[in-house]
């Protein structure tokens, strides 16, 4: 990868596989980074650093104000065990079964998966994945319970962005009927162009030069411990699957709670 003999996409897939992530497990699906921060321009400038997301910071620290709030949350909670109120920056995760299914909800079998995770029906329309820009704004700035990253399909599969099956996904409060995913202006309403430019962004010089910083956060030494605290990158202890020894937990209720928590909210990849 350092010699540019494999692409950034291939390297990320390799790391995901090493870390135990798989297309066969929604709870440990391959995780990819948001790479762009520009969802407003008519044309995408891949030579301008401001076009890109800050890959050295997790999604919870993309803005100064948001970072401050998560640090405040971390400092306010006393350390305690066996309780959901533990010292961490994030009580939600950047990759989970519901996040994966929500991104791919317009395609089967993910439509059925999403509905089963939602209790048999689609979610409230305003909470459904309907716009790349609004999802970025939610995950990077607006929603304190949303720190989601992306999935590999954002870089190769235009079909997941169209409602080719004509599912009735509902109507938002502003009257918008959900159909195809709303794309940034630079995509000209064309899912193929979006995927092409998004993949070019992933393989750009800027991302190639900074991608290792994101890898440190997700797969490397900034996953946990003092380096994670310094990077504003700590998650609820239940998310660290390899750190939880379920065999030593005798109380079946606590064990069930932990397993339910993990299945709903996701797991940190194995450290590579």
Report pLDDT for 159: 97
Predicted confidence pLDDT, tens digits, the chain (272 residues): 999 999 999 999 999 999 999 999 998 999 999 999 999 999 999 999 999 999 999 999 999 999 999 999 998 876 554 455 678 999 899 999 999 999 999 999 999 999 998 888 888 888 999 999 999 999 999 999 999 999 999 999 999 999 999 999 999 999 999 999 999 999 999 999 999 999 999 999 999 999 999 999 999 999 999 999 999 999 988 888 766 666 777 778 877 877 777 777 778 999 99
Residue 272 falls inside a structural domain: no
Per-residue pLDDT, 248: 73
Domain that holds residue 125: 8-263
Domain membership of residue 126 (yes or no) is: yes
Q: Does residue 210 belong to any structural domain of this protein?
A: yes
**What are the tokens at 192?**
């193929």
Q: How far apart are CA 207 and CA 215, in angstroms?
A: 12
Residue 2 resides in a domain: no
User: CA nearest 18: which of 197, 219, 177?
Assistant: 219
Residue 269 lies in a domain: no
The pLDDT of residue 180 is 97
* 57 neighbors 231 (Cβ within 8 angstroms): yes
Q: Give domain status of residue 271, yes or no.
A: no
pLDDT at 266: 79
How far is 14 from 21, CA to CA, in rounded Å? 10
Tens of pLDDT, residues 42-52? 999 999 999 99
pLDDT of residue 157: 98
| CATH code of the domain covering residue 227 | 1.10.1540.10
Classified as helix, coil or strand, 36 is: strand
Q: How far apart, in whole angstroms, are the C-alpha atoms of residue 63 and residue 201?
A: 21
How many structural domains compose the chain?
A: 1
pLDDT of residue 267: 87
268 found inside a domain: no
Q: Is residue 3 part of a domain?
A: no
pTM above 0.85, yes or no: yes
DSSP string, 12-33: HHHHHHHTT--TT-GGG---B-
What is d(CA 23, CA 37) in angstroms, rounded to the nearest whole number? 26
Q: What is the dihedral of CA 38, 12, 218, 271, to 10 degrees?
A: 180
């Amino acid at each position: 990868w350092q010699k540019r003999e494999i692409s950034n996409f291939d390297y990320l897939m390799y790391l995901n596989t090493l870390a135990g992530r798989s297309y066969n497990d929604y709870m440990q699906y391959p995780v990819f980074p948001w790479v762009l921060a520009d969802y407003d321009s008519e044309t995408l400038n891949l030579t301008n650093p401001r076009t890109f997301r800050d890959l050295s910071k997790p999604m919870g620290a993309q803005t100064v104000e948001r970072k401050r709030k998560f640090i405040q949350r971390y400092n306010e909670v006393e350390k305690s065990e066996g309780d959901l109120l533990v010292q961490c920056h994030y009580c939600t995760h950047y990759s989970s079964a519901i996040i994966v299914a929500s991104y791919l909800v317009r395609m089967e079998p993910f439509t059925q998966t999403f509905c089963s995770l939602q209790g048999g029906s689609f979610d409230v329309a305003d909470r459904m994945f309907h716009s790349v820009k609004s999802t970025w704004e939610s995950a990077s700035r607006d929603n304190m319970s949303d720190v989601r990253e992306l999935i590999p399909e954002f870089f190769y599969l235009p079909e997941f962005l169209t409602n080719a099956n004509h599912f009735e996904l509902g109507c938002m409060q502003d009257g918008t009927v959900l159909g195809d995913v709303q794309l940034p202006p630079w995509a000209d309403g064309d899912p193929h162009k979006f995927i092409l430019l998004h993949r070019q962004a992933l393989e750009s010089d800027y991302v190639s030069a900074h991608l290792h910083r994101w890898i440190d956060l997700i797969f490397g030494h900034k996953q946990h411990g003092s380096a994670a605290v310094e990077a504003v990158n700590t998650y609820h202890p239940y998310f660290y699957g390899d750190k939880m020894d379920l065999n030593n937990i005798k109380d079946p209720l606590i064990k069930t709670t932990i397993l339910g928590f993990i299945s709903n909210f996701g797991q940190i990849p194995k450290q590579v």
